[in-house]
Amino acid sequence: MNKREELIIKYAAELKDKFGLEPEMDLLTKITIGCGPSIYNADSATVSSSDDSELERVKTNFLIKKLGLEDTPELDAAINSVIDNYGRSNRTKYRVVVYYLLTKHFSKETVY
């Protein structure tokens, strides 16, 4: 099993354990691949919810550019909802898991 496959299994477990979701493995795999090499770096593999510029990057680079959504207050609300559900005090919020949850929230699975 290669490193990416190990990470996908870890992300799937995170979705099951923390959110009670049975992830769509095909979608989870595609989002993981879409994140590229950032998943292998400890800093870029996670989302810092205490850093406003990081949350703005999630909104701009993922929700607007990747998923093609319009910049509305609903984007910030969705990000905050995901972060709240993940647990603001949880220091390890995996980027792939956040992106998966946002993709499902906005029903944008077809982008992948």
Average pLDDT over residues 27-43: 95
For 65-96, write each residue's pLDDT tens digit: 999 999 999 999 999 999 999 998 888 999 99
Rounded CA gap, 107 and 2, in Å? 30
CA torsion sign for 102, 104, 108, 112 is positive
Mean pLDDT for the stretch of residues 13-23? 95
Domain ranges of the chain: 3-111
Helix pair 3-19, 95-105: axis angle to 10 deg: 60
Question: What is the rounded CA–CA span in Å between residue 38 and residue 96?
Answer: 10
Q: Where does 3-111 sit in CATH, by number? A: 1.10.238.120
Q: What single-letter DSSP state applies at residue 91?
A: S
Contact 47, 54 (CB under 8 A): yes
| Percent of the chain whose pLDDT exceeds 90 | 89
pTM of the shown model: 0.95
